[in-house]
Structure 1
Amino acid sequence: MVAVFIKIILYRVISPACLIFAALIRPSLLSLLYALLALLNPLFPRIRASYPLSTPTKVYLTLIVLATLCTSICQLVYQIAEHVITPEDSTYIEECKAGTDGWRYWLRQFGFTRVPSHEPLGFRFMLPEIVALISSLATLVICLTKHESTDLNETVQTSQSHNSGSHRFTRSRSHPGGFSTITALKPSFQRLSDILLTFYTLFMGIIQPSILNSFYFFMFLFLLTWYALYTPITRRMFNNVKFILIFYSGLHLLLIYTYQIQVSKDFLQPDHLVARLLGFTDLARSEACETWWQFKFNSYWTSYVNYIALWIYFFCAVAQFNWTRTGIRNFGDRDGDGASSDHEELLASVPDIEVQGPNSFPLQRITSQLLDRQKISVIFRRPGEKETTTTEGLTAITFFFLHHSYVFQLIAMMTWALLYHSVFGLIFLFLACILWALRDSRKWCFRISPIMLAYVEILLIFQYIYSLDLIAGKELPVYSGLEIIGFQQAGSRSAAFLTLGVKSILSLPFFVILRLFLRERFYDSLSEHDRRKRLNYGTFGTPPVNREPALHVQDVHTGTEGTSPFFKSVTKFLTKFWLFLVAFVLLVNALSSPPVDYTAGYLVLFCVLIILLHISFRFFRNVVFIFWTLLIIYSSIILLAVYTYQFPSIPKLWQDKTNLTSDDFAKIGLVDYQDEHSSSLLFVRLLLPILLVLVTMLQLKFFHDPWTKLVQTPSQSRATSAAETESEESKLFFHPVLIPRNG
C-alpha cells in the first residue's frame, strides 16, 4: 500500500514534468505527443483518499504508457538500423552536407535523429523516450496499488455519517467560534488567486507583444473594464473567461512548440513578417552538419521567458479554476448561494433591521463613504466581534486610502508625463496640475473618470501596436510628428516589455477611480430601505451587549477621528511636520544646479516664507494658505513651460514670438535638453517641480486644516468646538429618522 499524497505527487507533478522535459529537449512530432499528453493531465479526475482510482484516470495513465512504449520501440529500431546502414558518423555528415539525405530529414522531424558514436551529448535524442517511459510506467504501477489504510466500507459509513451530519454542520457554520483560521482565510486567498491570475494574464500579454499574445492583453483590459463599470462579475461568467484562457493558452503553447520543429521554420522563416507578427521565434536550432547534436540558442530573452511562462500559466490557470469554480464563500455566508459574485452577492439574504436607540444616527446622513467604511470594518473582524484598537486603526487607514484614492491617479498622471515625454504626457501633466488646483479635486477626478479611462485604454492599445516586432519606417509608420504625439516604437524587445508594463501599472488607478465613482453614484441613488439594508450587510449577527459604536458619521470624510491612538499619533505627527517637508523641498528646488531665473524665484519664495513666519505667527497662519496656492501656481507654470519647451520647433517658435535668443531662454531655465543629449538633467528638472507640487498639494488637501486647528489659541478652539456642536445639534433636530449605528 502507498500513501495517497505520493500518488498525487507522481500523478500531478512528476509524470507531467517528465513529459514536458521529454518534449523540450528534442522538439519533434513525437515530442509534440508528449507535450499534448502533459497538457491533458489537469483535465482528468484527481486521486482521492476515500475512493479508488477512477476509470478515466486509469485510461489516461495506461494510454501514456502505451504511447511511450511504442515510441521507445520505434526509436530503438531506428537507432539500430541507422548504425547498421551507416556505421561511420563521417558518412552521415557527408550525406547531410550534400543534401542527399532527404529521407533522414523527414525522420528527424518525427524525432528519429542519429545518436553520434563518440559524443555523450547526442544521447539526448533517445533520452525523451527513456524518461517518459520510466516515469509513466512507475506512475501507473504505483497509482494502481491500494491506498494506504483504505476501507471502502469505512468510506461508505463516513459518507453516510457526513450526509446525516450535514445539517448539524450547517448550523454550526453560523456560529463565529466554529471556524478555524484556515477556513476564515480561504475566501481571501481565493480572491487573491483571482487577482494574481488576472495580472499573470497581463504579464503573458506584454512579455512578447504579438498577435497571439495580444489576446491575453485584451482579456486583461476586458476584465478590468468590466470591474471598473461596477458590474457584478458572476462566478459563472468568470469561470467561462478562465475556461477560454485555459483553452487558448494550451492552443498557443502547442503552436509555439510546433514552430520549433525544423520543418515549420523552413516553411515560415523566423524573420518573416507573419512569423514576427504572430510571435513565432526561433528558440533553438541544430548546429551545422558536423555538430548536429548541439543546440544554438539564437533569440532574445523575452522569447524564452514567454515560452516557459506559458507552460506555467496553463497549469496555474487550471489549478486556480478547479479551486474557485464553485464560488468564493465567506465563513459567514449563508447556504444556498451557489453562484458567487465578486461583490454584494449575498445582499439579498440580509434581514431588515429597524432599531432606534442611543447608538442611532440619521438615515439621511448615510452616505456612500459611510457604507464603504462599514464594509471595510467587517474585513478586519469576525461577525459579532467587538472592534479592537487594531481593527479600528486598520479600518481607518484602509478607508482613508480608499476615500483619497484619486491622489494615486494624479500621481500616476504626473509620473506618466515624467517618464514618457509626448503630447499625450503633456495632456496628463496639464490635467493633473488643473485637478490639483481645484478645491474639490476628488469630485472632479471622479466626474471625468470615464473619459480618462477611455483615453488611457486607447493609449495602451496604440502602445501595444507600436511594441510589435515590426521594422520602423517599412512595416510601421514612424514620423517625427507621430513621435511628438507619443507614437514611439520600442527600441528593443526588453524596452517594449518594460514600457507596456510600466504604462499598464500606471493605468490601474484609472480603473479604480471609475469603479468608485459609479459605486458612489449607485449608493447615493438607493432608497431608504436599501441604504439600511446595505449598512447592516456584513454584520451577520446581533451586536454584543454594551458594544461601543464602531463608526461615527462625522468621521467619514477624514477617516482620522474616533480611530486607534496609533493612527491619531501618526496623523498628528504628519500634521506637525509636513509643513517643514514642503519648506525643505522648496529649498531644494531653489538651490538646484545650475542656477537659473526660475530657481531664483523659488529662493525668493522661500525667503518670503521665512519673513512671513517672523512677522507674526497669527498673520502667517492666516496667509499661509494663499502662499501655498501661489507656490503651486508658480510651480505648475514652470513645469508646463519646461515640459513644452522640449518639443521640436517649440524653442524656435517661442524665440520668434518673443525676440529672445536661446541663451536668454537658457538663463530663464528653458533649455532643449534633447538637443544636448542630457535626458537625465531633464528628468531632474521635471522631477523637482513635480515633487514640490505633490508635497504642497498634500499639505493643502490633508494637513492644512488639521494644522490650523492644532495651532489655534485656546479661545479660538473653544469657539470652533461650540460652532461644530451647534451645527451637529441642528442636523439631528431636522433629521428625526434614525437607524442603528451598528446594525
Structure 2
Amino acid sequence: MFQPQLEFQQKLEEEEEEEEEDELMFEEDSVLSEEEEEEKCRRNWVLFELELLICKTRKMIGNMTMAGGKVLLTGLLGITGIVFPSLSSLLYLLCFQVLCTCWAWSGQVPTLLFRCVSVMSLVYSSSHFLLVYCYQLPSLQEAWPPNSTSASVMGLVSVVSVDCAAPWSMQVNTDLYWFHFCSPLMLLLLYNTVAALWRNQVIDEVTGDITAERRRELWRRAHDRSPDPVCPRSDGSLCSVDTLETCVFEEEEWEEEEEVRRRGEESAASMAFGFLLKQSYICALIAMMAWSVTYVSWLTCILLLWSCVLWMMRERRKYTLMSSPWLVAYGNLLVILQYVYSFPPVEGVPGLFPRKDDPCRELASKVRLRLLLLLPLACTVPLRKPYSVLRPISCSYSSSPLKEQRADEHLQDKKQEELSYEELLLLQGGGGVRMEALVAVVTRMFIKYWIYVCGTMFFFVSFEGEMVLYKVIYMVMFLCCVALYQLNYERWRALLRGFWVAVVVYSMLVLILVYTFQFPSSPHLWSYYTGLSTHRLEDVGLEKFTVPVLFTKIFIPAAFLLVCIVHLHYFHEPFLLLTDLKTVEGALSLCRLVHSEGSLYDLSLGGSPELLKEDEKREGERGTEEDKKKTWIKGEEKEEQEIYPFLISWRLVVDRLSVLFLQLLLSLQHLQHLLWWFLELHIVKIVSSYIIWVSVKEVCVLNLLFVLCVAVALPCRRWRPLLSGVCTVWTCVLTVCKMLYQLNVVQPIRYSSNCTTVTMETLTGNLFFTDLSHSVLYSGPVDPAQWVGLRKTDGKLLYYLKYNLMMLALLAFEVTVYRHQELYRLRHDQVPPSTRTLFHDITRRQLDDSLMSCVKYFLNYFFYKFGLETCFLLAVNVIGQRMDLFAACQALGLITVLSQRSRKRISSVWPKYCYFLSGLLCFQYLVCIGFPPATCKDYPWRPPSSNVDSNVVKWLFLPDHLTPPNPLFLLYDFMLLLGASLQLQVFEEELEASVQLLAGDNCDTVPDFMMSYLDMMKVIIFCYMFWFVLTVIFITGTTRISIFCMGYLVACFYFLLVGGDLLLKPVRSILLYWDCLIGYNVFVITMKNILSILACGFIKSLVLNHCWLIQLFSLACTIKGYTKPEQQSSKQCELPSDEAGIIWDGVCFCFLLLQRRVFRSNYFLFVVLDLQHTQLLASRLNQMNFSTFYNSTIHLADAFIQSDVHQRVSTTQAGI
C-alpha cells in the first residue's frame, strides 16, 4: 500500500531535479547572451570611434585644402603686386589688402568676394601677361617707347630685344634688375594657380555645403529623437550611422558624453589659441615701433607716437583693439602711398618717401609689418558679433528648453565629476593651495623686485654708447631718486609716482627728439634755432644714425619706457602697500600649511582651512542636485574606481613632496632672517670699509669728504645717519661731475699745464734733473682736474664709475637693511634685542655648559670680552706694517693708553684716543692729496731748494710729486679706528644692566671650574698658558741677535727662575711684573719704529761709517718701496736679509696681553688656589717624610746601641 506512494514521491523528486537543471541551464544561457551583447557593444564602439576618426581626418584635410588654397591665392596676389610696382600691378596689391582686411574684420573671407577676386585675377592676370608678352615686339616698342612716362607707369619694360634682320636671336636687356624678370613669371604663376583652384573649387564647395547641411540635420535628428535603451539593436548594427558624412550614435547618453569630451578638447585648444591671440596686440605695438624706426619719415613718426601712447595706457589692450581699424587703415594708406611713389618715373620725397633702387624689398617689409597690424583687428571679431552667435553650439542643438537645461546640467555634473578626482587635486586640493602659494610668491617677488629691474634699466640707458647730455639727465633722475630714498623715506614714497611719470614723459621726449633728428632737414633747423654747432648737438645726443644704430638708440629707451610703465600700472600701488612702515599687517607664515609631524593638514584633504569652509557651503548647496544624477554615470564610476588608487597614491606623493618643499622654504626663511640680522649687525663696518677703500684707491680732493665723514661717524654714533646721507648726496654729485666731464665739449688739453717749459732753465745743469724726470710735474702736461678727481676714460665710463656706483648701492642697501628690520619687527610685533648678538639664547650662564655653548658665546661676545686687546694688536699691526713717522705717533698713543693699566681708566681716555685716530687719518689723507701739481711748484724738500733723500721723504710720509706717500697705509689706520670705535661702543654698553646680565661683566665672579676636569681647554689655558708665553718670549729673543733681543732672554730666564713663586703672589704684584714686561715689549716696538729712519732713510751712510750700529740694533728696512744700497764684494758690513723681528714682537705682544687677561680673570684665582693646595700638600708630605725618617733613625740608633751593648757584654763575659 505504501509502494505507490513511494514511487510517486520519487517521480516528484526527479521532476524537481529536472526543473532545477533546466533553470541552471537557462541562467547559463542568459549569462552567455549578456556577455555576447557586451562584446557586440564593444565592437560597435570600436567601429564607431574608427569611423568618427576617419570622418574627422577627411574633414580636416578638406578644410586644410580649402584654407590653403585661399591663403596661397592671397599670398600670390600680394607678391605679384609688390614684385614690380606699377600702375598695372596696383590692382593685385589692392585685392591683397582687401582680402586681408576682410579676414581681419569679419574673421573669414566672404565666398562671393573670394569668387569675384578669383575671376578677376584669372582674367586680369592673363590679360596682363599677354600685354607684357606683346610689348616685347619691336613694332609695339617703337610705337610705345619703353622710356616714355606712360610705359614706365604701366610697368612695361623691354625684357628682350629682337633684331628684325635676325629674328631667331633674342638678347636680354642687361640694364634691368632682377624684379623686372620676376614680374612676368609671377603673373604666369598667379594665372596657373587661380586656374587650378577654380577648376577644383566647385566640387569642393558643393561637397562642403552638403557636409555642413547634412551634419546639422543629423545633429538635429539625434537630439530631437526620444532616448532609446542603452544596448544597441540585436542585429549588432549601429543605431544611426551615416558612413558618408558623419557618425552619430542614436542613444542620447553616448552623444552627450562625446559632446562633453569634444567640448573639453576644443576648450583646451581654444583657450591656448585665445590666449595667444589676446597677446597679439603686443606684436602689433612692436611692429609699429619697428616700422617707424626702420623707415624714418614724418608719416611713420605718427606710428611711433601712436605706439608710445598705447604703451602708456593702463588698459593698453583695450585701447589697441579700439584703435585697430584706424591703425589698419593707416597702414594700408602708407603701403599704397609707398607703392605709388615706387613707380619708376615718380621722384621720391625726402623725409617722406625716399627713392629706392630696389623698392620690392622695402614694400615686402612694410607688407609684413602691416600683416602684424591686422592681429588686433582680428581680436575684435568676437566683440563685434551678437551674443547669440557666440553661444556654445551645444546650447542650440536641442529644440526643447527642458532638454537644453538638462544638457547643461549634465555637462556641469560631468565636469564636476571630473574635477572631483583630477582637477580638484590641482585646483581645490593641494594643487589649489600650491598654485595660490606659487602665484602669491611670484607676484610678491615681482612687486618687491621689479623696481630693481627699473633701476638696472637706468644703467643700460645711461651707459650704452658714448656719453651724451640726455643720458646724464637719466642718471641725474636716478641718483635723485636714490638720494631721496636714503634721506627721507616717506617723502620718497610720496613722490615715487611723480618720479615714474616724469621718467616716462622724459623717455618719450627723448624718443621723439632722437627720431625726428634723423630727418634730412632737422640738423640744419636745430643749429639755426639753438645756435649750437653739430658737435655740440652730438654732446646733447642729437646726431644722425644708420638704421641698425638708430634701432639700438630707439629700442633701449623704448624698452626702458615699457619697464617703467609696467611698474607704474601694475606694481606701484602694491609696492607702496608692501613697503609702508605705518601699515602693520599679519605676516603669512608657511607654518600654517605644515603639521609638526611633517604632513599637509589641508593640502591633502582638499585645500586650506578657508577653502575647506567654502567647499562645505558649496557641497550643502549642491546636495539636492547631486541626488538627481542620472543612472548612466554608474558605468563611468566603475571605470573611475579603477583609477582612484593611482590618483590617491599620486596625491600622497605630491603631498609629501609639498611638505618637503615647504620645509625647505621654511629653512630658507629662517636663513634669510638670520642673514638680515647679520647684515644689520655688520653693515656699518662693510659700508665704511668700502668707502675708505674707494677713497684710498683714488686719492683726490672730491674723496676727502668721504674720509672726513667716516672718520667722524665711526666714533660718533649719533651722527652716523646724517653723515651717511651726506655721503649719499656727495656720491651723486661726484658721479654726475664725472659723467659731465666725459662730454666732448670738455678738452683737458686746452687748460693743462706744461711745467717742463717753466722749470727747464732752472734745472739745466742740475744733477737731479734725471731723477726728477719721473716726477708728475715734468713727465708731461698736468691736468688740474685729475687732482680734483676727474679724468677722461676713453669710453670706459662704467668701469670708471663702478666704485662710486657700488658705494651708492651700499649706502642705499644700508638704509634698506635698517628699514627692512624695522618693518619686520612691526609686522611680527617684536622689539629690537638688547644686545647685538647672533644667538639670543646664549648668555653668560651658558658659557660653561658645553663646548658648543662656549663657541656660540664667544661668537656673540668675543669683542665684548677681548675687544681692548684686539685694538692693541691692531695698533701693533699698524706700527709693524708702516714703520714711519705716523707709526711712531701710533706707538706713542698706544703707550699712553697702556700706561693707564686698569680698564676703568682706559675707558675714560678711550674717546680721546678715538678722536686722535680720526684726526690722524684725516691729516694723512690730506698729506696724500698734497698741493695741486698744476701750479708747477715743487715741494721745498726737492731740488733745487733742498737735497733730501727719497727714502727719508717716504719715511716722514711727506707729500711729494716724485715719490708720493703710499695711501694704502691708511687702510691699517682705518682698521684700528674701526676697532677703537667698536670698543668705545663696548665701553658704553657694558655700563648697562641688561648687557651685564646677558653678556656678563668683564670683572664678574665665576664658579670653581677646577672641580671638574672635563673641560680640558680651560685647564690648558688657565694653568699652562704662563709657561707657553715664556716659550714665545724665548723664541722672540732668539730670532735675532741684538740688544733688544737680549732683554727678552733676560726677562724669560728671570720668570723661569721665579715663575712658581710669582704665581703664588697677589694678582696685583703679578700684574706689576707683567706690565713691566709688556712695557718693555712696546718700548722695543717703538724703538724699532723710530730707528727705522736710520734703516730706511740713512742706510747708505750707516753702511759706510757706522756698521757697528747696524749690528747692535739689527737695523733692517722691512717696508717695500725703499731703495737699498748695493752689497759690496768685500761684505764688510752685511745687512740683515730677513726682517728685524717686528713680527715676533707683535706675536709676543699678543700673548702677553692674553696672559695679562688670564691674570685678571677670576678663573685664575682657582688656579692659584690649586697651586697653594698643591704646595701645602707637598709641604705636609715633606713633614711626614721627615718625621718618619726621624723615628726610623731613632729606632736604628737604639738597635745599634743595644747590639753594641750586647756585644760588649758578651766580650766581657768571654774575657772573664
Distance 1:202 1:430, change over 3 A: same
What's the offset of the Cα at 1:210? Answer: 1.0
Q: Which amino acid aligns with 1:693?
A: L
Deviation sequence 1:372-411 (CA, Å, 0-9, x none): xxxxxxxxxx9653678x9777544422232233222222
Paired with 1:234 and 1:632, the residues of 2 have a C-alpha distance of 44
What's the offset of the Cα at 1:334? Answer: 3.5
Are 2:185 and 1:318 equivalent residues in the alignment?
no
Q: Report matched runs for 1:46-85 at 5 Å.
A: none
Distance 1:182 1:268, change over 3 A: same
What's the offset of the Cα at 1:452? Answer: 2.7
Deviation sequence 1:456-482 (CA, Å, 0-9, x none): 22222211110111153xxxxx5xxx5
Q: Which amino acid aligns with 1:399?
A: G
Match of 1:439 among 309, 314, 317: 314
Paired with 2:505 and 2:222, the residues of 1 have a C-alpha distance of 50
Q: Which residue of 2 aligns with 1:502?
A: 365
Match of 1:214 among 51, 70, 90: 90
What's the offset of the Cα at 1:708? Answer: 11
Distance 1:395 1:628, change over 3 A: farther
The 8 Å contact of residues 291 and 300 in structure 2, kept in 1 or not, is answered as: yes
The 8 Å contact of residues 287 and 296 in structure 1, kept in 2 or not, is answered as: no
Distance 1:589 1:548, change over 3 A: farther
> Which stretch has the larger CA shift, 439-448 or 541-550?
541-550
Paired with 1:599 and 1:438, the residues of 2 have a C-alpha distance of 25
Helix, strand or coil: the match of 1:270?
coil
Q: Which residue of 2 aligns with 1:309?
A: 186
The 8 Å contact of residues 293 and 550 in structure 2, kept in 1 or not, is answered as: no
The 8 Å contact of residues 324 and 376 in structure 2, kept in 1 or not, is answered as: yes
> Which stretch has the larger CA shift, 326-335 or 642-651?
326-335
Distance 1:234 1:682, change over 3 A: closer
The 8 Å contact of residues 383 and 538 in structure 1, kept in 2 or not, is answered as: no
What's the offset of the Cα at 1:242? Answer: 1.0
Paired with 1:409 and 1:349, the residues of 2 have a C-alpha distance of 45
Q: Which amino acid aligns with 1:334?
A: A
Match of 1:686 among 527, 534, 554: 554
Q: Which residue of 2 aligns with 1:554?
A: none
The 8 Å contact of residues 107 and 378 in structure 2, kept in 1 or not, is answered as: no
Helix, strand or coil: the match of 1:635?
helix
The 8 Å contact of residues 347 and 537 in structure 1, kept in 2 or not, is answered as: no
Paired with 1:698 and 1:336, the residues of 2 have a C-alpha distance of 51
What's the offset of the Cα at 1:449? Answer: 2.8
Q: Which amino acid aligns with 1:497?
A: C
Paired with 1:618 and 1:350, the residues of 2 have a C-alpha distance of 70
Paired with 2:579 and 2:199, the residues of 1 have a C-alpha distance of 59
Match of 1:264 among 140, 145, 148: 140
Deviation sequence 1:653-690 (CA, Å, 0-9, x none): 5556556554443322122x17xxx5554443223323
Q: Which residue of 1 aligns with 2:513?
A: 641
What's the offset of the Cα at 1:651? Answer: 4.4
Deviation sequence 1:223-274 (CA, Å, 0-9, x none): 2233344286432332222122112112222222222233333332222222
Q: Which amino acid aligns with 1:446?
A: L
What's the offset of the Cα at 1:448? Answer: 2.7
Distance 1:723 1:180, change over 3 A: closer
Where does structure 2 lack aligned partners over 5 or more consecutive residues? 1-46, 225-257, 399-403, 420-430, 591-607, 617-1216
Q: Which residue of 2 aligns with 1:403?
A: 278
Q: Report matched runs for 1:601-620 at 5 Å.
A: 601-604=473-476
Q: Which residue of 2 aligns with 1:453?
A: 328
Are 2:353 and 1:487 equivalent residues in the alignment?
yes
Paired with 2:220 and 2:574, the residues of 1 have a C-alpha distance of 41
Q: Which residue of 1 aligns with 2:1127?
A: none
What's the offset of the Cα at 1:198? Answer: 0.8
Q: Which has the larger radius of gyration?
A: 2
Q: Which amino acid aligns with 2:99?
A: L
Q: Specify which structure has the higher proportion of helix.
A: 2
Q: Which residue of 1 aligns with 2:538?
A: 666
Q: Report matched runs for 1:531-542 at 5 Å.
A: 532=391, 536=395
The 8 Å contact of residues 205 and 217 in structure 1, kept in 2 or not, is answered as: yes
Q: Which residue of 2 aligns with 1:243?
A: 119
Helix, strand or coil: the match of 1:670?
coil
Paired with 1:237 and 1:593, the residues of 2 have a C-alpha distance of 53
Paired with 1:574 and 1:257, the residues of 2 have a C-alpha distance of 69
Paired with 2:156 and 2:130, the residues of 1 have a C-alpha distance of 12
Match of 1:335 among 200, 207, 213: 213
Q: Report matched runs for 1:351-366 at 5 Å.
A: none
Paired with 2:531 and 2:109, the residues of 1 have a C-alpha distance of 60
Helix, strand or coil: the match of 2:161?
strand
Paired with 1:507 and 1:549, the residues of 2 have a C-alpha distance of 47
Deviation sequence 1:188-211 (CA, Å, 0-9, x none): 342133123212211110000112
Distance 1:649 1:291, change over 3 A: closer
Q: Which residue of 1 aligns with 2:76?
A: 200
Distance 1:327 1:383, change over 3 A: farther
Distance 1:613 1:663, change over 3 A: same
Distance 1:260 1:597, change over 3 A: same
What's the offset of the Cα at 1:335? Answer: 2.6
Paired with 1:726 and 1:433, the residues of 2 have a C-alpha distance of 47
Helix, strand or coil: the match of 1:285?
strand
Q: Which amino acid aligns with 1:463?
A: Q
Distance 1:180 1:535, change over 3 A: closer
Distance 1:497 1:656, change over 3 A: closer
The 8 Å contact of residues 413 and 432 in structure 1, kept in 2 or not, is answered as: yes
Q: Which residue of 2 aligns with 1:423?
A: 298
Distance 1:403 1:680, change over 3 A: closer
What's the offset of the Cα at 1:639? Answer: 0.5
Distance 1:181 1:226, change over 3 A: closer
Distance 1:587 1:247, change over 3 A: same
Distance 1:437 1:573, change over 3 A: closer
Q: Report matched runs for 1:567-646 at 5 Å.
A: 585-604=457-476, 629-646=501-518
> Which stretch has the larger CA shift, 322-331 or 175-184?
322-331
> Which stretch has the larger CA shift, 701-710 or 447-456?
701-710
Match of 1:300 among 169, 177, 184: 177
Paired with 2:115 and 2:193, the residues of 1 have a C-alpha distance of 14
Helix, strand or coil: the match of 1:295?
strand
Helix, strand or coil: the match of 1:547?
helix
The 8 Å contact of residues 122 and 191 in structure 2, kept in 1 or not, is answered as: yes
The 8 Å contact of residues 645 and 670 in structure 1, kept in 2 or not, is answered as: yes
> Which stretch has the larger CA shift, 286-295 or 438-447?
286-295
What's the offset of the Cα at 1:518? Answer: 5.5
Distance 1:233 1:491, change over 3 A: closer
> Which stretch has the larger CA shift, 199-208 or 267-276?
267-276
Q: Which amino acid aligns with 2:278?
A: H
> Which stretch has the larger CA shift, 602-611 or 195-204?
602-611
